[in-house]
Every structure is written in structure tokens, then in C-alpha cells.
Structure 1
Amino acid sequence: MFHILFDSESKFLFTAGRFLQDITEIRPNLKKLKYVISMDVEEAYQEDAMFWDDFLEKGKRLLESGADAYQKQNVSEDHVAAILYTSGTTGQSKGVMLTQKNIISDVKGVPSRVTFDPEDNFISILPLHHSFEATAGFITPICTGCTITYSPSLKSKEIVGTIREKRCTIMLGVPLLFEKMGLGIKRKINQAPFTKRTLFYTSMRIVKTARTLFGKRIGKKVFAGMRKKAGLESVKLMVSGGAALTPEVGQFFQDLGFDITQGYGLTETSPVISVNPVEKVKMDSVGLPFPSVTVKIDQPTEEGVGEVVVKGPIVMKGYYKNPDATAEILRDGWFFTGDLGRIDEEGYLYITGRCKNLIVTKAGKNVYPEEVEFALLKSPFILEALIVGRMVGDREVVQAIVVPDTEYFDTHAKENNISLDEKKVKEMLKVEIAKYCEKLADYKRVRNFEIRDEEFPKTSKKSIKRYLFQSKSVKV
């Protein structure tokens, strides 16, 4: 918090009352900060802060006295509208300057891929300082006259309860949210009586067969009763962003009868660059770029993989007070994303990994950690996985850090009368890792693995803070 307040030179700070004590401690070092406005009246009078209603009253008195400085502000499309700080997956966050034109251009691109109408009701789950939620979940529905309903918490039960009560139709989320929802559904099915369990999996096989053999989506009809019972029958579209959604998770929800799509973007691009058209979703792709955006692959390999670079009105003005970092990624009008990807013959974009995460073997082969992680996460025994390069002698090998799904381990052990200890868990994970790496090229397969007892620390986008684990001496 201090870094953002200090770096942005903020003059006004709007906060919940519970943060006032923290702000009081750091305020002496924030020379530019003039006002702290608390949304909670009781705390505001206890600390060096102003209550929201008093703040409004102060503004009203200024207007009545003839003050018109703010009303005469001449704002152009090139003026900075927001400074959003990157989530810091690779270290210290930087202030991304987005102009009025950047944000409006991004909002105007949405209808080319996904359409909404005034009857739609968005369920807002992500924090509003998240650029995906700010643009796609706040400004976009306002511009299209939609309703926005705010979830009281990130707990699945409360999210579903809100959707059921308010009849929400559009659900935006990060992949982790959809992954946990999917796991929750599967666990409930696996805990159901034998007849219900058998009926579900038989129905799912029928749905998959209709999709793969005949290109028909029958999940909407087959699982209509289940969606209603779950309280999700009002949801007509799920949109995933902020990180890569595994094709298996997306396909699972589509087979259940939900329309689900995913897009791609970064804070530096306001943020959305591309979205899968709802009528033609490719689950392993991040979709088609917006019409006003040009995307190309820089220095592609024989497989067509290279760095994704972007040009268009959505690209940021630059990093606040950081010209060197700006010059590093903005070159000749092109924004170098740092992501590796390819484009297919229909123009769909695929993201294969991050340039900085790339592992290069001694034989010169490229290993994309995200690809291996996707493979491992198909195992029900693995809750989270992180692939890193580790030096063994003079060569770099693929190593995994895995978080076991303890709940699934316990269920499996009870059903199969297995006694679990540390050695047994490691043996079972070794088998699972080998099994799910079978389809990968030999040089991409995991050679060693470590077990982590708790989930990885994450950013506000729920992305793993990968940089914390890339050093070979890091404590897992």
C-alpha cells in the first residue's frame, strides 16, 4: 500500500475504516497526501480522517460559494484517466497510465465479440482495482445500461446465493474461481448416492459424444435441472480473464450447458486485447483481437511461437515516472507483452507462456512451464503446480513444486482403505506426475518434484507469485 501511495503522489485517499490505523502510521512519509476520507463514520471521528458525508458537504459548500475550479477542467482523450499498478508477479509493481481514449477504446471493442443488453445483471466478484473488473465488470455494464450486483464475499456459497437471489446473468472471474467452482461440483457429485453419480457421468458421456461426433451442444437441456438446483440457471454467460483458463475447465462448464468464454489482456492494454466470440469458442485459445487492435508474433520459431506484440488505441501511455521501463516495452508504437504465443489460420491467438518463465534445456529445447502445469493440474490429486528450471550439474532440468489436494487424498484413501503417510503421498504423487506427463515430449517431462504444504502466495489476480520460487535456493 505504501509503495502505491508514495509512487502515485496521491492527494486524496478513500478507504474503509479498518485501514485507518495503518494509514496513520505511514502518513508522515506521504507528503503529498492531503485528505483521507473514511467510508465508516465511527472510525473517521477517531482518526485523522474525514467521513464521506462530510466530504460531500464540504464540496457542496464550495460550489455554493462560487468555486468552479473542478467544473472548468478541460479533459481531452489523451489525458490520463487512471494509474493502475501491476499485480507484481515479477517483483515491484509499476504504475500503468491509461488515458481516457485507452479505456473507452477497450469498452467499444467488447460488442465485437460479446454482446450485452440492459436486462443483463453482472455479478461483481473481483476487486475494482483489478483492471479486468474495472473495465469489463464496471465501465462496460454502465455503458450498456446493465445492472451490477456486488457479491458480499469471495465464498462460493455467498456468490451462488447472490446469483440465485438477484438472478445474475453475467459472471466475470479469474480461472481460479472457475476451477474451484468446478471442483466443488465434482466433489458433490462424487459424494452423491451411487444412482445419482452414475446418472451424472452417463449424461456427461452422452453430452461429450454429441459434441465430439456431431458438433451438437446438448448440455443446456440435459443438465437444466442440475443448474436450477445449484441456483445458477439465470447465468447465461461466464467470462474468464486475468490468467489462462485450462481448456478442461472451460469444456466442463460448457458441457454443463453454460456459455463460457475467455479473453486475454494486460493492465497495460486497458486491459482486453482479445476475446473468444461466444458463437465460436476455441477452448485452448484466447480468441480474436478487437477490430481496432493489431497483434503480431515477433521472431516466431518454426512452430510459429514468439513474443506477442500489440498496437492500437488500447495501449497505455506509459509507466508513471518510469521512462526506462516504458522504453523497454514500447518500441516503434508496438507494445511488447512479454507473453509467448502463436496465431492460427483463422486469426485466433494462443498464449503458450511467459518469456521470462521459459526454460531452455542444454540441447536448446524450449520448455513452457505453463504447458507442463496444465498437464499436471488434470490430476485430481494435485491442487496447484508450479514448474521451474533447476540446475543439475551443468544442465537445467524441469522441476515441479506441487500442492496436494488433501481433501481428495483423504476421500480416495477412505474409499480404497489406504493408510496415508508422507512417504505414501509422495509415492502417489510420483505416479500421478509421470502419468500426466506421458503425452509431453521427453524433454518437457518433470524430472524432480517437491511438495508444498500450503497454497502458493498469489497476486490480486489470483496468479501465483512465480518470482518467489524461481531461485534454486528458495525454501518451498
Structure 2
Amino acid sequence: MPQKTFLQAETSGADIGRDTMPLLLQRNARKYGDGKVALREKEYGIWQSYTWQQYYDHVKYFALGLASLGFVDDDALAIIGDNRPEWVFAELAAQSLKGRPLGIYQDSILNEVAYVIDHSGATFVVAEDQEQADKVLDMKHELPGVKKIIYTDPKGMRDYDDPMLVYFPDVEQMGRSFEEQNPGYFEKSVERLTPKDVALIAYTSGTTGFPKGSLLTHSNMLKMALNLAHVDPKRQDDEFVSFLPLPWIGEQMMSVSTALAIGFTVNFPEEPETAMADLYEIGPNVVFSPPRVWEQQARSVIVRHLDASWFKRFIYRLCMPIGYQMADFHFEKKSPPWYWKLMYALSYLLLFRALKDRLGFSNIRSASTGGAALGPDVFRFFHACGVNLKQIYGQTEISGISCIHREGKVDFTSVGEPIPETEVKIDDPDPEGVGEIVSRSPALFVGYLKNDEATAETIVDGWLHSGDAGYITENDQLVCIDRVKDLMQLTSGARFSPMFIENKLKFCPYIVEPCVLGHERQFVSAIICIDYKHTGKWAEEHRIGYTTYTDLASKPEVYDLIEKEVVRVNRSLPEAARIQKFLLLYKEFDPDDGELTRTRKLRRRFIAERYAAEIEALYQDLDQVHVESEIKYQDGKTATIVTDLQIRKMKPLDQYALEDERKWWQFWKPVH
């Protein structure tokens, strides 16, 4: 393995001077006025547009309304709800008053909402609708610091008479009245801001406990945005669809800081459930999504082709291998022969053009994924389809981004190179060059809110300690293996990355979330959650009756189906890292049950505690394990699951028929 331990990017020359995000908004409003759309929102099936001038006016008058209600310097403003223009209006308004905005995931349960509001010391809360307002109202006696709850959707709020509640447009009207008494107040407030002022409290995903509040400045976020744009260019006429939760730093990076710095248009879907359909309507030029979105889309395509007519299935099976081969040429840095270019051009006309269009990627120029590692199979799938997908790597604490693949250097085993003004090195590497990834750049956060101890542990001598294990290749690419604390070692001494195996399993259309186990055990095993929608469809097509998720997951035929996928993955793994036993869980892992973070990362410690009996059974000579478990539904009701989970033991690989699909152009050749 390479022994390189240090990477340093070139400087971009990006100069943000004294810019802050409200100042950039003011500048864009002057530059574009009403001549260019800044934001779009789909409402009742119709796209509603906001020009840059309208964007600025909403921010200005909402800020003045907050000021009239008593919002002062360093006050925190909590925002909870779906992605809406009002979200960014509120965020920029708080920044304009030298306040500290923060986001709360809209599907957070009561104790999570209470923790973030209390920890941040938020004095005002912007809640999208009745559901979100109720979460705060139900706990208002535990949150004495909250002065007002500002709602944006009046539906269902007519009979509420709590004095804490105020309607968003009414706050803007208060702002207009406040301006008459205090002319120039907003402009003076924006002018006094400095790049070193805190622009956002970004809460981490909280994989090991309650989330920590990262303090990010205007300079942090804008430096990152412009340095990223230097190596992955964005344009003023680009379209972007904001469908990932805005509390996530990845969405903040695109929808707020980069959009303000570059000036492109941000589009908000009507509902989270319609995001993919709305993305198809917009046909964005820029797409940034975490792995789960790309995995879902790949699974959807694979399943959909199985339901297509025989002719479409024929075209898919004819063209996909050509796409994969072309992707491999690019990954291996080889120039494809002319006849391969011709075959791919024909395949593009027959399949990939229509496929990209159905996915909403017809106009895509910049496609990236981040937040976690994306499995190589999914990566290869999108490159085969003609989507130049790149991996981004970073943490909330460094404003989201430290590395990205460069054009022409995409390699699904790595996370690319540092963006400009960023340094990355491997701390305390072992003899093979593997160690903790640490980085520093102008985007490095100030520290954690109210947690100096965690700040001192995370920032050491100006370097951010990521907690990720990795190494640097001979061609200067950073490889992230897994979280340091998540790397596992068998009793034999063999090490393996559970995340790497999980990503390969998730390429299967019938698996939604696996959890790979084996630390200080004799072998690797897995708890697997099936994809209810796709597996249910497969069961119906094969005339397998079922009633519930639990019933479907217990079917022997479904176990056989998943076993084939485990065999596929095992063939690509070293012998020590192959899965030897697995079980299908009676439910999906759920953030509400504490098994996943709100960004859908596994909380391994919690899973190990909750499913201790099931895990222990995997390492005993048992064929099944009896389970009695309480599950919680979205409406708060609970139910008890009583079932027997089957444990499937894998046979040696040589006892399975070799099912590797041969490329159709090889059939005329003798098989060796």
C-alpha cells in the first residue's frame, strides 16, 4: 500500500473579501433585480417564482419584523419544516441581524426537537405548519427561552389562540412598519457584519449520542463554496433542486452558500414525496445527493426493467454491458477504441438518453454524492448511464467539503483530492499507510457550541480530526475506508470495513439497509432489512402470498433471493471478510427508533444493544431466534412483534453455481 501521508491542493485565487451571505444577497438583488429567478417553489402543482429582488425583500422585512419582536445580536433562530423559500428567508434574516440560525430535521421526534432548541438557546422558532408548531407548543413549558413560534402554513391554525404564535407574513408586515420608524436599520445591520461572524449552527448527525452544534462562520461557508466551484464549476444559469433536508450541511452548502456565491436558481419540490417527479420537471444542471438517494434510484431502475416489456428488457440487457465497459475504460484511464465509442453512441440513443431523462438527468453537468461512501456498484451503474458522478468527502466541521474527484480522475475506490486551500494528511499511519484522516482549510469551523472539551478533541493544532480511517494512493487520491471506531477485526486478526460490505449489499434492489457484524468474533455476519416495496413486488410476481413486512421477511423464498445477493457480494470479498450467516429483520431500521441518524447513518452502538439477542444467535449453532419486540408507529402508537427469525448459514462459494453474467459479446468465444 502507498506510504504517502500528505495532500495539499492549489490555491484557487477565490477572493470573497469582506463578503457575508446577506451582503451577497444584497449584491445579487442589485445585479439581477427582477430580471432573474432566484428561487422557485411548487405549490398546488404550479411553480411559483421569486426573483432576486423579491428574495431580498422577503429577507429584509422578515428580519425587521424579528427586530421589532426583540431579536438581538447572537440570538438563535431555530427552523423546522420541509424545504421552502421561507426557510432561507428566515435563515438569511437571522444572519442579517447578526443572529445564529439553525435547522431541525422535520421528522425529528419531540425529545430531539426539545434538545436542539434548548441546547442552542433559540429564542424564536420558525415552524412550517401545524404539525411542527405542535411539537414546540407541546413542550413550551420546558422551553422558557422561546418567545415566539412563527408558522408559515396557516392550514389548521385557525382555532389556535396561543399568544406565542404569529404568522410569517404578519412578521413581514411588522417589518414594514418597523422600517417606517427606523429607516436604514436593515442596511446598517448588514454592513456591520464581518466574515468571522457565526452564520450557522449546524448540528451533526449524532451517530453516538446527542448531536453537537458546529459553529460555522460566513467565511467558512463561502470559502468552501467558491473553492469547490473552482474545481467543479457552477454557473449563474444553472438549476438546482433542493430536496434534501436543509439542516444537513450538504444541502446548506448548495442551496444557501453556493447559490448566493454563484447566483444560480434553487427549486423547492411541492412535497418530499414528489421530489423525484419535480426533479424530472426541472431537469437540473447540478445534483448533489447522499448515497441513499443514488442507491434508491439505481434499485428503482433495476426493478423497473424487470417489469418492462420483453423488447425493453432486451434493449436494457443489450446496452447496459456496453455502458459498464465504457465506464471501466474511464475508470482505468484507457481510451476506448473507436468501435466501442460507436457502440456506446448507439446504446445512448437506444437506452441511456431515455433513462437519463426519466431520472431527471437530461441536463445534468455536475453530479456528486457525499455524506458517506457510495458503493462501487452504484457508482459504476451511473457512469454506465452517462452520469459523470463524483464522490465528495468532508465533515460538517469543515463546512461540508474537503475533497472531490477531479474531472477525468474519477475513481470509485477513492474520494478524490482536496479542494483549493485545503490540506489533508494521514495522522499516525500504520506500516501500510492507514491512519486517521485529518484536514485543515479556511472552511474549518470555530468550534462546538457549549462544548469546549469536544472542540479541543476535534481540532488539534489547527487540524480537524475526522474520525475516519484512510490512506493516500500513489496517484494522490484520498481513500476513506470507514470510521476509525467502526473498523472491525476478527478474532483471527483479519480486519475489514463493514461499511464497504454494506455498500455492496445495498446495490441489490431488494435490500434497503444491512448492518454487517463481526468485531472480535470468529466470522462476519449480517442483519439485513429488505426493501418492502421492491421485494413485495417480486413476491407478487412469483405468487408468494404475504401480509406484513414481518411476514414477507420470514418467507423462505425471500431468504433464497437475498442469499443469491450475499453470494454475489462474497465473490468480490477476501475470504476472511465474507458473510457466513445472516438474518432478515422483522422491520426496517428507523431514525424514530434510534437505529439511524436523521441523515440515515447506522448507529451501530445502539443496534448492537437493541439486537443483542439476535446478534448472539448469529454466533451460536442456531437455525432461528425467538423475538418479542415493541415497535413504534409514526402516529406514536406501539405494537409488540412476536416472531421467530430464521438464521441462514452460507455454504462455501464453490457449492454455488457461478452466476456471473457474461457480456453478450463474449458468448461466441470459448469459456476458459
Same fold (TM over 0.5): yes
Instruction: Map 1:52-451 to 2 at 5 A.
Output: 52-66=168-182, 71-72=188-189, 74-155=192-273, 158-212=274-328, 215-216=335-336, 218=344, 220-221=348-349, 223-228=352-357, 232-389=361-518, 395=521, 397-406=523-532, 409=535, 422-426=555-559, 428-430=561-563, 432-451=565-584
1:46 equivalenced with 2:161 (yes/no)? yes
Conserved 8 A contact 1:390-1:472: no
Q: Which amino acid aligns with 1:171?
A: V
Shift of 1:280: 2.7
- Per the alignment, residue 98 of structure 2 pairs with none
Conserved 8 A contact 1:401-1:449: yes
- Per the alignment, residue 456 of structure 1 pairs with 589
Shift of 1:286: 1.5
- Out of 407-416 and 105-114, give the one that drifted further: 407-416
Q: Which amino acid aligns with 1:467?
A: R
- Out of 256-265 and 382-391, give the one that drifted further: 382-391
Conserved 8 A contact 1:149-1:168: no
Conserved 8 A contact 2:438-2:466: yes
1:138–1:8 distance in 2 versus 1, CA, 3 Å: same
Distance (Å, rounded) in 2 between the aligned partners of 1:406 and 1:60: 51
Conserved 8 A contact 2:488-2:519: no
Shift of 1:325: 0.9
Distance (Å, rounded) in 2 between the aligned partners of 1:231 and 1:307: 38
1:24 equivalenced with 2:137 (yes/no)? yes
- Out of 267-276 and 375-384, give the one that drifted further: 375-384
Conserved 8 A contact 1:125-1:150: yes
Conserved 8 A contact 2:300-2:509: no
Q: C-alpha offsets along residues 63-120 of structure 1, whole Å, 9 cap, x if unaligned? A: 3223877634733222211111111122111111111211111112112321121221
1:302–1:112 distance in 2 versus 1, CA, 3 Å: farther
Q: C-alpha offsets along residues 397-421 of structure 1, whole Å, 9 cap, x if unaligned? A: 4331111345555565677788986
1:429–1:167 distance in 2 versus 1, CA, 3 Å: closer
1:140–1:50 distance in 2 versus 1, CA, 3 Å: same
What SS does the aligned partner of 2:430 have?
A: coil
Distance (Å, rounded) in 2 between the aligned partners of 1:246 and 1:336: 24
- Out of 183-192 and 42-51, give the one that drifted further: 42-51
Shift of 1:321: 0.5
Conserved 8 A contact 2:324-2:383: no
Q: Which amino acid aligns with 2:251?
A: E
Distance (Å, rounded) in 2 between the aligned partners of 1:53 and 1:126: 25
Q: RMSD between aligned alpha carbons?
A: 2.7
Greater C-alpha radius of gyration: 2
Shift of 1:428: 4.9
Q: Which amino acid aligns with 2:435?
A: G
- Out of 222-231 and 75-84, give the one that drifted further: 222-231
What SS does the aligned partner of 1:272 have?
A: coil
- Per the alignment, residue 114 of structure 2 pairs with 2
- Per the alignment, residue 465 of structure 1 pairs with 603
What SS does the aligned partner of 1:370 have?
A: helix
Q: C-alpha offsets along residues 258-293 of structure 1, whole Å, 9 cap, x if unaligned? A: 222220111111011111124432122211111111
Conserved 8 A contact 1:456-1:465: no
1:23–1:418 distance in 2 versus 1, CA, 3 Å: closer
Distance (Å, rounded) in 2 between the aligned partners of 1:442 and 1:261: 30
1:378–1:178 distance in 2 versus 1, CA, 3 Å: closer
What are the ranges of 5 or more consecutive residues in structure 1 without an aligned counterpart? none
1:131–1:423 distance in 2 versus 1, CA, 3 Å: same
- Per the alignment, residue 52 of structure 2 pairs with none
Q: Which amino acid aligns with 1:83?
A: I
Conserved 8 A contact 2:226-2:261: no
- Out of 192-201 and 375-384, give the one that drifted further: 375-384
Q: TM-score, normalised by structure 1?
A: 0.90
Conserved 8 A contact 1:164-1:234: no
Q: Which amino acid aligns with 2:196?
A: D
Q: C-alpha offsets along residues 113-132 of structure 1, whole Å, 9 cap, x if unaligned? A: 21121221001111111110
1:364–1:225 distance in 2 versus 1, CA, 3 Å: closer
- Per the alignment, residue 70 of structure 2 pairs with none
- Out of 132-141 and 442-451, give the one that drifted further: 442-451
Q: TM-score, normalised by structure 2?
A: 0.65
Q: Which amino acid aligns with 2:527?
A: I
What are the ranges of 5 or more consecutive residues in structure 2 without an aligned counterpart? 1-112, 546-551, 591-595, 615-672
1:113–1:453 distance in 2 versus 1, CA, 3 Å: farther
Q: Which amino acid aligns with 2:153?
A: D
Conserved 8 A contact 1:376-1:437: no
1:53–1:405 distance in 2 versus 1, CA, 3 Å: closer
Conserved 8 A contact 1:308-1:338: yes
